[in-house]
Chain A
Amino acid sequence: MKKTIWPGALTSYLILVISISLLPAIPCPAQPRPVNYKLEVELLPPAASLLAKETLVWTNLSQDYIPDMYFHLYWNAFKNELSTLAREARQEKYFKRYRTKEEAWGWIKITSLTTADGHDLLASATFISPDEPPNPHDQTVLRIILPEPLGPGQSIKLNIEFQAKVPRNGLRTGHYKDGFFISQWFPKPGVYEEGKGWNCHEYHLNSEFFADFADFEVRITVPSELVVGACGEEIKKAEDRSAGKTTYTYAQENIHDFAWTASPRFIKVERWFKGEEEVSPEEYQQMAELLGVDIRDIKLPDVRMILLIEKQHRHQVDRHFRALKAALKYYGLWYGPYPYRTITMVDPPFRTGSGGMEYPTLFTAGTSVLLEKDVLTPEGVIIHEFGHNYWYGMVANNEFEEAWLDEGINTYSTGKVSAVAYGPGRIPARFNGLPLSQLFKLPAVYDWQLGRVISSPVAKLDSVLTSSWNFYNSGSYSLNVYYRAATSLFTLERLLGEKTWARIMRTYHQRYRFKHPRTEDFIQVVNEVSGQDLNWFFQEFFYAAKDFDYAISYVETRIKPEKYRGIFDDLPTVSPEHDRETTNQTAVSKKDKSRQKIYETIITLRRYGEIKLAPGYNLKLKVEFEDGSIDWKEWDGQSRWVRFYFEKPVRVKRAVLDPDGLWLVDTNLSNNSYARRGPTTKIMSVTTGLFWLVQNMLITMSSWL
């Protein structure tokens, strides 16, 4: 067997540059990329299958000699009930996300795998199970042995032919009748990490993906009646009328995945995002000042926005574009201009199991026929999935191992964009697909408000930095990596201030654009830009599974007795501070002593959570009295509890721990305040509402019996 190892990266790079130069220029930074793909695929709708060829050039950018290659064959996750994905799905107690019927299995089969000179590599290929616990039945990672170890800077060209069956209602990919959403569909090498080897995980239920940046040229042949959308730019379209087929050619530099979709029920709408129209000069000026950068560095380029929307949702076209424009504007201003020429948003074909997923330059955002105006669906999904172009697409962390770096940061970013573009969104109430807002309205909330509440129960279940497939369950995975991580970031923003935080986020994005950062890189940027050592924060809130809960535990007020019973000598036994307070009060009110009551108030604060504040941080306690006076106390939060004593001629009206609301990550904010008169009307309203509901339920039940 003869291998094709080219002289070095320079040659491959020259060829790559020449081939790319034939395509329209796309303004992406020229950085060495280890992979170049040329794919040809034909979709056969009756059999729901793909016939494809892949030409892959992979360059060893490390200093290692590499004897083998690992490939992801993701669709084998849908092959049978023994795949890692299926096994994990069965173990889930709360969510059954992956279900399929006998005829709906999906798979991918490589029929030929050779080097450029025809050396067959398939014979020695084996499926491996790199993750714990190992699963010998999983076929989502394929290992091939190279004819010779690949040296530093050397490249190998592989020709692959494969067939694939599209799973029905799969996970993030699939088909339903003649609607297709095709992702993770081609053999894709893992990421080679110098000194460590291949990073190539199995397809898990609770994890997404990780791949190297690459340049793609993809030819997609489909029946002509299907409307097609794909990552990157469409550079050619050729229709074969006699065969009733059309071939679309798409190309895109510097992305790490390629997805496409086809359905006869799509409407294709295109509009432009124009940076000069969407952002006012004042906004540019404000942003430049906030970020401390030149205004020229934040100017936003024009972007072609493509929407593929199902005909049934055509009335929502404007809603889709408004949300995408907001996302392009604020992600662009805050983190850096969107570097690609196009962005394609897809309302995924019905029942393809692919709603709400991100791919570079393309994302899906499922919607519903009947939508209220003040419920921010699909807006929230559009903003979130577009945002993944920044967090996952460009700053390409390992989603298997550190999912929070994209999902958590992007959930935080989504919340920010939604808040500034729309304000709070109403929580939807639906029954059988019908909105119930005419009957009753649930509250309008900001993402961070809802996120911090729903994520609090999983604080002690898993740490945010657990590997995706090792979370307790899907709920713990999503609540931790999306919402708890985002809540921690909102907390950091409040602690460090808007300006510092904006600069941290921009620095991190700019520094790791088109790279694969780890959590340590993020922490390093936070420490560097803020000038503080915040390692403790990440240690407690990201690396550990602990909760943070400080509370006002008890407030007691009583009238101070005029006389104390017992035996007293002449020596004072109270603390100097207490002595001073009482002496002053005594001096002021000596004349009125017989008329004026003095109230003794004791406020007990407790630390219910395991996480302690780091030295140097204090919690503030604001105490308001009935006469309008305010006392402030501070607690370092190190002990399990502390008591504060007050003596005043009036009672406490309210007390609030952390009155600025800095510590959003507190798992129970409801115990952070005390008011002598609580929200009685609200409690009454809730109780009577519940009472009424139960009454009606009982009447309905009794009328049936």
Chain B
Amino acid sequence: MGAISFLKSGFNRAGQKFKLSVYLWLIIMVVCLILVLPVNSQIRTSLGHLSWPEHSLMPFELNLVEIFLVNQNLLASYFNFFLVTILLTVVLAVFLSGGLFGQMINPVDRVSLPGFLAAGCRYFGRFLLSLVLFIPFLMVFFLVFKILSAPLNLWSARAVSERPVILAGWLSLVLLALLWPAFKVILDLARIFIVAESKKVIASYASALKFIGRHFFPLWGLYLLVTLAVVIISAIWLAICRLLSAAQPGSLFVLILFGQAFVLFRLLTRQVLIGVEYSYFSTGKDS
């Protein structure tokens, strides 16, 4: 099978189980509301009755800066709240991954919220452990990145002008973007083994590493292809958004809808990626 076949298979599977993205979208929306509502409340309290004449004394963005500078003590408290919520979201994300992988790999086409939540519960422990066991891989990832980016850093450090510094900075980012999927597939494959073959975590890692050893480049390439597609579509989306923001009446409502469509697109992309990886796994496990 060629890359297109895997992509098609992954896309079909994601399309059939699109509801999963909707579940994730709703759950993430709840977390977002928890995070954003205090800020919104502060803005509405401080600026909800601001008089906004045609020629105002300063741009609205500066009013925002002003009220947050004036209320710095609130900002500090909010920052702590934000951090705690994000930490809790990490745990939630592991649970959601369990639900997502469980339902995506499930041969039954139909998905349901109870099934999604049940999968989340079923795999939570093993997924959490798989995340913990991924930490050494992360350390290797950073080590490899450090080694590979060392020449760029040296070039940047010895530069006598600004261009090499900017270029080296961007090349480092590209390197990071290329290297990350090479390690992320390990975690994804281990989780596929956990779900598809009901293996324990360490055994899944062993199988995943063995599998990746045989199929590294195709897997990495597929991951990069999906990522590239996301980047291109995101760029087009941003360009359209810029055009929309120039329009006047009703543009805010359209932008909100468009923004949420993008969020759904990103969630669906994750489904597609899991679908592609699973499709490749299904084909390659017997070879």
Q: A residues touching B (Cβ–Cβ < 8 Å)?
A: 176-179, 265, 310-312, 350, 368-370, 432-434, 439, 442-445, 449-450, 453-454, 456-457, 555, 654-656, 661, 667-671, 673-676, 678-688, 690-692, 694-696, 698-699, 701-705
B60-84 contact mask (Cβ, 8 Å, vs A): 1 or 0: 1111111101101000000000000
**Chain A residues positioned under 8 Å from B184 (CB to CB):** 704
Is there contact, CB below 8 Å, between B50 and A675?
yes
Is there contact, CB below 8 Å, between A699 and B267?
yes
**Chain B residues positioned under 8 Å from A704 (CB to CB):** 184
Nearest CB of chain A from residue B10's CB, rounded to whole Å: 15
Closest residue of A by beta carbon distance from B86: A701
Q: Determine which residue in A310, A667, A674, A679 has the highest number of CB atoms from chain B within 10 A of its CB, and name it.
A: A679
Q: Does B54 contact A (CB under 8 A)?
A: no
B146-170 contact mask (Cβ, 8 Å, vs A): 1 or 0: 0000000000000111110110011
**Chain A residues positioned under 8 Å from B63 (CB to CB):** 669-670
Task: Count B-side interface residues using an 8 Å CB cutoff.
Answer: 63
Is there contact, CB below 8 Å, between B32 and A678?
no
Closest residue of B by beta carbon distance from A667: B70
Q: Does B43 contact A (CB under 8 A)?
A: yes
**Chain B residues positioned under 8 Å from A695 (CB to CB):** 28-29, 32, 263
Is there contact, CB below 8 Å, between B50 and A369?
no
Q: Does B93 contact A (CB under 8 A)?
A: yes
Is there contact, CB below 8 Å, between A450 and B36?
no
**Which of the residues B47, B48, B162, B266 comes within 8 Å of A699, measured between beta carbons?**
B266
**A688/B256 contact (C-beta < 8 A), A265-B161, A683-B48 known:** yes
Is there contact, CB below 8 Å, between B51 and A265?
no
Nearest CB of chain A from residue B167's CB, rounded to whole Å: 9
28 cross-chain CB contacts under 8 A: A312-B161, A312-B163, A369-B166, A370-B166, A432-B173, A433-B162, A433-B165, A457-B70, A457-B72, A669-B57, A670-B46, A674-B51, A675-B49, A678-B51, A679-B47, A683-B47, A684-B252, A685-B252, A688-B259, A690-B40, A692-B263, A696-B266, A698-B31, A698-B93, A701-B93, A702-B97, A705-B90, A705-B94
Q: B residues touching A (Cβ–Cβ < 8 Å)?
A: 24, 28-29, 31-33, 35-36, 39-40, 43-44, 46-52, 57-67, 69-70, 72, 86, 89-90, 92-94, 96-97, 131, 159-163, 165-166, 169-170, 173, 184, 238, 252, 255-256, 259, 262-263, 266-267, 270
User: How distant is the Cα of A695 from the Cα of B93 in the complex, in angstroms?
Assistant: 13
**Which of the residues B43, B62, B86, B93 comes within 8 Å of A686, measured between beta carbons?**
B43
User: How distant is the Cα of A681 from the Cα of B48 in the complex, in angstroms?
Assistant: 10
**A673/B51 contact (C-beta < 8 A), A696-B266, A699-B266, A705-B97 known:** yes
Is there contact, CB below 8 Å, between B65 and A453?
yes
**Which of the residues B58, B69, B72, B160 comes within 8 Å of A179, measured between beta carbons?**
B160
**Chain A residues positioned under 8 Å from B266 (CB to CB):** 696, 699
Closest residue of A by beta carbon distance from B238: A439
User: How distant is the Cα of A671 from the Cα of B57 in the complex, in angstroms?
Assistant: 13
- Residue pairs across A and B with CB atoms within 8 Å: the count is 169
User: How distant is the Cα of A450 from the Cα of B64 in the complex, in angstroms?
Assistant: 12
Closest residue of A by beta carbon distance from B166: A433
User: How distant is the Cα of A673 from the Cα of B60 in the complex, in angstroms?
Assistant: 13
Is there contact, CB below 8 Å, between A443 and B89?
no
Is there contact, CB below 8 Å, between A679 and B52?
yes
Nearest CB of chain B from residue A349's CB, rounded to whole Å: 8
Closest residue of A by beta carbon distance from B134: A705
Is there contact, CB below 8 Å, between A434 and B166?
yes
**Chain A residues positioned under 8 Å from B262 (CB to CB):** 692
Nearest CB of chain A from residue B51's CB, rounded to whole Å: 4
User: How distant is the Cα of A536 from the Cα of B147 in the complex, in angstroms?
Assistant: 63
**Chain B residues positioned under 8 Å from A683 (CB to CB):** 40, 43-44, 47-48
Nearest CB of chain B from residue A427's CB, rounded to whole Å: 8
User: How distant is the Cα of A694 from the Cα of B58 in the complex, in angstroms?
Assistant: 27
User: How distant is the Cα of A177 from the Cα of B157 in the complex, in angstroms?
Assistant: 11
Closest residue of B by beta carbon distance from A660: B57
Is there contact, CB below 8 Å, between B61 and A443?
yes
